[in-house]
A = this chain, B = another copy of it.
Amino acid sequence: MSEPVFQRLALIGIGLIGASIALATRRAGLAGHIAVTSRTAATLARAEELKLGDSYHGEPAAATRDADCVILCAPVGASGAIAEAIAPALKPGAIVSDVGSVKAAVITAVQPHIPEGVHFVPAHPVAGTEYSGPDAGFAELFDGRWTILTPPAGSDPAAVARLTRLWQGLGANVEVMAAEHHDLVLAITSHVPHLIAYNIVGTAAHLETVTRSEVMKFAAGGFRDFTRIAASDPTMWRDVFLNNREAVLEMLGRFMEDLTALQRMIRYSEGDKLFDLFTRTREIRRGIIAAGQETAVPDFGRPHGKPDEPRT
């Protein structure tokens, strides 16, 4: 157990990320008290059944009162309204943070509501699964993954250091960068990949010549990898694209240019160019494995023909 970093940690929203923070905080003894809130009564009740917190609140302001750290764990589109709701309850010296996948837009939405004497240190844990809700949370989610902090210019270094200690205690590596740069990095490493995955699953669903049943049966050829991320939370991802529009459109434009070039190589049978690209892309995966962000297990270690799988 570590020394508690905060006396009272308030989690505004208790889905996959909020629940995982609660469990990892408990695992390492990082907070004296965890106050949980959800705007959905059923979710709050479920969080209580799962014993994720020490107190449960229907109103964000009630959870926030007396908290020395408040983390917004809701879709980014809700950030501004939450900040407005909790502002009157924030105590001097408290740290407000979030877990949004987009940072510049969140700063724009939240910063105006932060009272004098309260520190706003935005954060983004780059970790997740395709499942959502409090039952999807687990204490190991952040272990070995990166959390990016994007403190606005002039942030209190002590507040940044304290939030860094929290995230390290939750198992994560911490990196600090400018919000705008974060949004560009995540556009290519996360947002555009999600968009593409959603898109190809949509394309496959609309074909007249290939049935849905065929798509599902023969998905092992590669398609099913895309369906995992295309099963991610729709509200969260809608908000990501609406709030990181410029960076996503920039990276998507590059992706489409490159894809058009590939299309042309196929049309004109330029095998050497295809081979060159396909060879270079292998290195990137090796780098990700070396960076500890992926395992080298073939085919994601999927079971082949386990007895519980239907056979025809």
Contacts and interface: CB of A to CB of B under 8 A. Distances in A.
Interface of A: 101, 126-131, 136, 138, 140-146, 148, 171, 173, 175, 181, 184-186, 188-207, 209-210, 212-232, 234-235, 237-239, 241-242, 245, 248-249, 251-252, 254-256, 258-260, 262-263, 265-267, 269, 271, 274-275, 277-282, 284-288, 290-295, 298-306, 309-312
Contact of A218 (B148, B218, B262, B304): B148
A266 B248 contact: yes
B311 A144 contact: yes
A246 to B, nearest CB: 10
Which of A189, A200, A210 is the most central at the interface, judged by chain B CB atoms within 10 Å of its CB? A189
A204 B312 CA distance: 41
A49 to B, nearest CB: 20
B242 A205 contact: no
A248 to B, nearest CB: 6
A274 B241 contact: yes
A144 B305 contact: yes
B242 A269 contact: yes
Contact of A131 (B234, B248, B298, B310): B298
Nearest to A229: B222
Given A148-B218, A173-B312, A189 B202 contact: no
Nearest to A171: B305
